[in-house]
């Protein structure tokens, strides 16, 4: 299995360097890069970047660090994200440039897309202004209000985000694959007044009834008073609750064609959105992002990492429900005035070459996806790629999880024809934008298969030992960011203490990412995976405790323990050990029911690869689940390495637990 070297750091090609000779103008050595980098670790450096944005009012203070770790960027400045993405382009030739090329999932008999929409910046501008009018006039949404969005991958999703940003309402997007319970939990935490959703959408050739899930969630979300429902599927009829639910199309028809809403001049530190992400507790954390700092990191990374140019056709093949889509489908590319691709459905529908056909159809130049997607498509074989001309591609990147060298090589050779810079951009929901990467638009350093590369200008990343000293080159340690950066999280919504505790306590005053990493002799960083009880399944973060809480919520379950095990495609999959309540019998039906239960309470992504029924879950004397033992049982790892690692458990207890579990699950 190619994964092996990644999480342990063994067998990674630290010394392998690939220099692209077609990239001469920006191809520099590591030392030259490090020299430049050293000079960028100041707030003044970031002021130069921020100066390239359009501000209504210039800031007075670049960085307010008077109340760490609650840093504030560009204090006194006034800005609006919707203005940056739209109004600014109205004054230039980009007004009629195509902003979004969208494809719906369904295809005709010849395999061609049945729905293609091309929206110019002017089209977006008009729609956003009309929707902003509706939000203000019909629903009284004002600056500071919270609004939920639960939508599929259609252009109306960025339109909704931009309309809310325009009037200064803070939005929270919930991934359309999440369940009613997950949606309700987020709406309640955010105290959303309104939910924008759609009747349904296509996924893998099937129709998903989104409104039905939204209805169930809104029943449990008392703050949500209204729903706006996009008729994504014209033929799909759904019940609408009189006085609560309104069709998007009807509302828009009621707003004048040339509606205009002044973009609200917002303080730089105004919360643009809240995005929920998993941590080590059962409850997702609402990460709050500001406006000025966030837009600044996006501007910088669109230029440095993606080298974005007017001629480019940019494609970030993520879902807007995750931070990748917020930053690199919505705000980043639109602020830069790029032409980008957006796709509703699955990469393998109707055949495994859907993405490659789209790259060819639109002449995509810059492509960004996840290692899981790369490994999935790689498995189908090169013949699917070879049917298409991918020669327009010039830059490739991946994100979300470590990329194993084998998948990197395939991406580089087979997709990029061995001539495109290929990077693995490291960042997180919390960081807002890319922090560690190759930067073909700034200065290209030699590539290495599987590395994340060097920290971006202005980003002070390092790898530390357990006791906070710089780790020696080649040693596994903890990834930290030592300086504040624009785009950093402002807080955890309604839980500032947790914000301090989660990110700034492990190494006092430094931002702790929660990742293991290795820095090699050249200073390249190789992120290996999570150092906490968080899983990374197909590039999506999931808390073990979240899945355990879901299982324990089922009436048949007394106790549950979840661990992640390496998976060839998804990077990691959750596995569950379940203790049933007394008088409940284990059965295949019950097992199926539990799988369904997790899907229903969290969403399909959290569904465990396997559920094992066991008589008890091994715990240490302080009551902590012995996760390493559970993992060892499933990965056939020897016990030698772990007996001393489970705190407060004797070697005998660990061995006993290991033997019992092995026999109970028959592995």
Bridge-partner residues for 285, per DSSP? 277
Identity of the residue, 79 or 534, whose beta carbon is nearer to ligand WT7 in the bound complex: 534
Q: Radius of gyration (Cα) for the chain, nearest Å?
A: 24
Nearer to ligand WT7, 227 or 490 (CB): 490
Inter-helix orientation angle 180-190/588-601, to 10°: 30
Q: In the complex with ligand WT7, which residue's Cβ is closer, 200 or 432?
A: 432
- For residue 350, whether the previous peptide bond is cis, meaning omega lies within 30 degrees of 0, is yes
Dihedral of CA atoms 490, 493, 494, 497 in degrees, nearest 10, equals: -50
How far apart are alpha carbons 317 and 373 in whole angstroms?
9
Based on the shown chain and the rule CB under 6 A, indicate whether residue 399 belongs to the binding site for ligand WT7.
Answer: yes
Contact with ligand WT7 (CB under 6 A): which of 221, 536, 544, 550?
536
Strand order of the sheet with strand 313-316? 116-120, 98-103, 339-343, 313-316, 366-369, 395-399, 422-425
With CA atoms as reference, report the closest residue to 290 among 562, 561, 487: 487
Per-residue binder mask for ligand WT7 (CB under 6 A), 236-275, x = binder: ----------------------------------------
The tokens of 484 are what?
Answer: 């504040």
Residue 526 C-beta: closest distance to ligand WT7, Å: 8
452 in contact with ligand WT7 (CB under 6 A):
yes
Binder to ligand WT7 among 364, 429, 483, 643 (CB under 6 A)? 429
Rank residues 324 and 369 by Cβ distance to ligand WT7 and give the closer one: 324
Handedness of CA 430, 432, 433, 435 (dihedral sign): negative
Comparing CB distances to ligand WT7, the nearer of 195 and 527 is 527
Q: Based on the shown chain and the rule CB under 6 A, indicate whether residue 478 belongs to the binding site for ligand WT7.
A: no
CA distance 261 to 163: 9
* Least distance to ligand WT7, CB of residue 317, Å: 13
* C-beta neighbour count of 628 within 10 angstroms: 18
Binding residue (CB under 6 A) for ligand WT7 from 156, 189, 462, 515? 515
Which of these segments, 58-66, 360-368, 400-408, 625-633, binds ligand WT7 (CB under 6 A)?
A: 400-408
The answer for residues whose C-beta is within 8 angstroms of residue 295's C-beta and 6 or more apart is 53, 79, 81, 84, 331, 335
CB of 513 to ligand WT7, least distance (A): 5
Size of the site for ligand WT7 (CB under 6 A): 24
CB-based contacts of 578, cutoff 8 Å, min separation 6: 551, 557, 559, 560, 594, 611, 612, 613, 614
Smallest distance, ligand WT7 to C-beta of residue 283, A: 16
Pair type for strands 285-289 and 273-277 = antiparallel
Please, what is the minimum distance in Å from the beta carbon of residue 406 to ligand WT7? 15
User: Three-state SS for 458?
Assistant: coil
Minimum distance of ligand WT7 from residue 463's CB (angstroms): 13
Give the C-alpha separation, 218 to 245, whole Å.
11
Which of 159-167, 343-351, 399-407, 498-506 is the region at the interface with ligand WT7 (rule: CB under 6 A)?
399-407
**Is 87 one of the binding residues for ligand WT7 (CB under 6 A)?**
no
Is 193 or 541 the residue whose CB approaches ligand WT7 more closely?
541
Q: Cβ of 663: how many Cβ atoms within 10 Å?
A: 9
Segment near ligand WT7 (CB under 6 A), from 188-196, 356-364, 426-434, 496-504?
Answer: 426-434
**Token pair in block for residue 574:** 């959750």
Burial of 95 (0-12, 13-18, 19+ CB in 10 A): middle
Contact call for residue 277 and ligand WT7 (CB under 6 A): yes
CB atoms within 10 A of CB 88: 16
- Listed ranges 150-158, 166-174, 359-367, 533-541: which one lies at the site for ligand WT7 (CB under 6 A): 533-541
**Stretch 20-39 residues interacting with ligand WT7 (CB under 6 A):** none
Strand, helix or coil for residue 17:
coil
Site string for ligand WT7, 321-350 (x = CB under 6 A): --xx--------------------------
Q: Which of 84, 317, 513, 573 binds ligand WT7 (CB under 6 A)?
A: 513
Q: Does 428 bind ligand WT7 (CB under 6 A)?
A: yes
User: Judged by CB under 6 A, does residue 524 bind ligand WT7?
Assistant: no
Nearer CB in complex with ligand WT7: 309/631: 631
> Which listed residue (3, 354, 375, 530) binds ligand WT7 by CB under 6 A?
530
CA distance linking residue 6 with residue 599, whole number of Å: 29
Q: Choose one: 195-203, 227-235, 394-402, 405-413; the region binding ligand WT7 (CB under 6 A).
A: 394-402
| Residue among 296 and 425 whose Cβ is closer to ligand WT7 | 425
Residue-wise burial string across 284-313, b where 16 or more C-beta atoms lie within 10 A, e elsewhere: bbbbbbbbbbbbbbbbbbbbbbbbbeeebb
The one segment of 149-157, 182-190, 527-535, 578-586 that binds ligand WT7 by CB under 6 A: 527-535
Q: How far is the CB of 326 from ligand WT7 (least distance, A)?
A: 10
Instruction: Identify which range of 99-107, 419-427, 597-605, 622-630 contacts ligand WT7 by CB under 6 A.
Output: 419-427
* Alpha carbon distance 43, 59 (integer Å): 12
**Least distance from ligand WT7 to the Cβ atom of residue 328, Å:** 9
> In this complex, which beta carbon is closest to ligand WT7, that of residue 122 or of residue 507?
507
**At its nearest, how many Å lie between ligand WT7 and the CB of residue 287?**
8
Smaller CB separation from ligand WT7, 69 or 543? 543
Instruction: Determine contact, residues 157/149, Cβ cutoff 8 Å.
Output: yes
The total number of residues written for the chain in this structure:
667
Q: Does 527 bind ligand WT7 (CB under 6 A)?
A: yes
Q: Give the side-chain half-sphere CA count within 13 A for 368.
A: 30
Residue nearest to ligand WT7 (CB): 429
Q: Is 182 among the residues that bind ligand WT7 (CB under 6 A)?
A: no
Query: Nearest distance from residue 536's CB to ligand WT7, in Å?
Result: 5
Kindly tell me which of 318 and 578 has the beta carbon lying closer to ligand WT7: 318
Residues whose CB falls within 8 Å of the CB of residue 164, separated by 6 or more in sequence, listed in order? 132, 135, 141, 147, 149, 170, 171
Instruction: Please list the alpha-helical segments (H only) found in 206-351.
Output: 210-219, 248-253, 292-304, 323-325, 332-335
CB of 257 to ligand WT7, least distance (A): 38
Query: Which stretches of the chain bind ligand WT7, using CB under 6 A?
Result: 277, 323-324, 399-402, 424-429, 452, 513-515, 527, 529-530, 536, 539-541
């Amino acid at each position: 299995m190619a994964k092996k070297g990644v999480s342990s750091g063994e067998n990674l090609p630290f010394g392998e360097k690939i220099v692209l000779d077609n990239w001469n103008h920006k191809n520099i050595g590591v030392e030259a890069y490090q020299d430049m980098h050293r000079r960028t670790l100041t707030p003044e450096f970031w002021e130069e970047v921020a100066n390239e944005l359009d501000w209504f009012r210039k800031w007075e203070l670049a960085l307010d660090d008077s109340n760490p770790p609650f840093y504030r960027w560009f204090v006194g400045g006034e800005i609006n994200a919707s203005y940056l993405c739209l109004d600014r382009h109205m004054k230039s030739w980009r007004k009629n440039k195509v902003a979004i090329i969208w494809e719906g999932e369904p295809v005709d008999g010849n395999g061609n897309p049945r729905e293609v929409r091309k929206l110019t910046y002017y089209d977006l501008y008009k729609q956003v202004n009309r929707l902003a009018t509706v939000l203000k006039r019909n629903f009284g949404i004002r600056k500071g209000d919270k609004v939920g969005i639960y939508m599929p991958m259609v252009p109306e999703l960025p339109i909704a985000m931009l309309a809310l940003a325009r009037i200064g309402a803070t939005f929270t997007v919930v991934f359309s694959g999440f369940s009613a319970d997950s949606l309700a939990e987020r709406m309640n935490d955010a105290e959303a007044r309104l939910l924008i959703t759609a009747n349904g959408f296509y996924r893998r050739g099937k129709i998903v009834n989104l409104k039905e899930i939204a209805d169930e969630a809104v029943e449990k979300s008392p703050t949500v008073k209204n729903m706006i429902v996009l008729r994504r599927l014209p033929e799909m009829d759904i019940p609408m609750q009189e006085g609560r639910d309104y069709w998007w199309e009807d509302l828009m028809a009621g707003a004048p064609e040339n509606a205009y809403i002044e973009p609200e001049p917002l303080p730089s530190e105004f919360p643009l959105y809240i995005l929920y992400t998993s941590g080590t507790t059962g409850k997702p954390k609402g990460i709050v992002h500001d406006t000025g700092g966030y837009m600044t990191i996006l501007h910088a990374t669109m230029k440095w990492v993606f080298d974005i140019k007017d001629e480019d056709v940019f494609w970030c093949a993520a879902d807007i429900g995750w931070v990748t889509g917020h930053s690199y489908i919505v705000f980043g590319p639109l602020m830069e005035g790029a032409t980008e691709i957006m796709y509703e459905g699955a990469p393998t529908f109707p055949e495994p070459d859907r993405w490659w056909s789209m790259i060819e159809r639109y002449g995509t130049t810059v492509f960004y996806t996840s290692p899981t997607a790369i490994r999935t498509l790689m498995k189908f074989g090169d013949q699917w790629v070879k049917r298409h001309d991918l020669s327009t591609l010039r830059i490739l990147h991946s994100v979300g999880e470590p990329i194993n060298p084998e998948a990197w090589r395939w991406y580089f050779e087979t997709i990029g024809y061995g001539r495109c810079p290929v990077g693995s951009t490291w960042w997180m929901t919390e960081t807002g934008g890319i922090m560690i990467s190759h930067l073909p638009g700034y200065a290209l350093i030699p590539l290495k298969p599987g590395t994340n590369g060097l920290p971006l200008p202005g980003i002070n990343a390092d790898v530390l030992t357990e006791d906070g000293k710089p780790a020696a080159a080649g040693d596994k340690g903890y990834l930290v960011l030592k300086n504040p950066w624009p785009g950093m999280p402002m807080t955890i919504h309604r839980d500032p203490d947790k914000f301090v505790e989660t990110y700034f306590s492990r190494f006092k005053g430094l931002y702790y990412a929660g990742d293991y990493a290795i820095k090699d002799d050249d200073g390249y960083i190789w992120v290996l995976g999570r150092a906490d009880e968080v899983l990374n399944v197909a590039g999506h973060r999931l808390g073990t405790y979240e899945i355990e809480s879901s299982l324990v919520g089922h009436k048949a379950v007394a106790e549950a323990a979840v661990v992640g095990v390496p998976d060839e495609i998804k990077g990691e999959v959750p596995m569950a050990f379940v203790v049933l309540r007394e008088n409940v019998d284990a059965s295949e039906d019950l097992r199926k029911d539990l799988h369904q239960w997790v899907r229903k309470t969290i969403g399909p992504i959290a569904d465990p690869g396997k559920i094992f029924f066991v008589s008890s879950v091994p715990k240490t004397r302080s009551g902590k689940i012995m996760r390493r033992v559970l993992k060892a049982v499933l990965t056939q790892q020897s016990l030698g390495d772990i007996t001393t690692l489970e705190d407060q458990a004797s070697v005998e207890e660990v061995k006993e637990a290991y033997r019992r579990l092995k026999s109970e699950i028959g592995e």
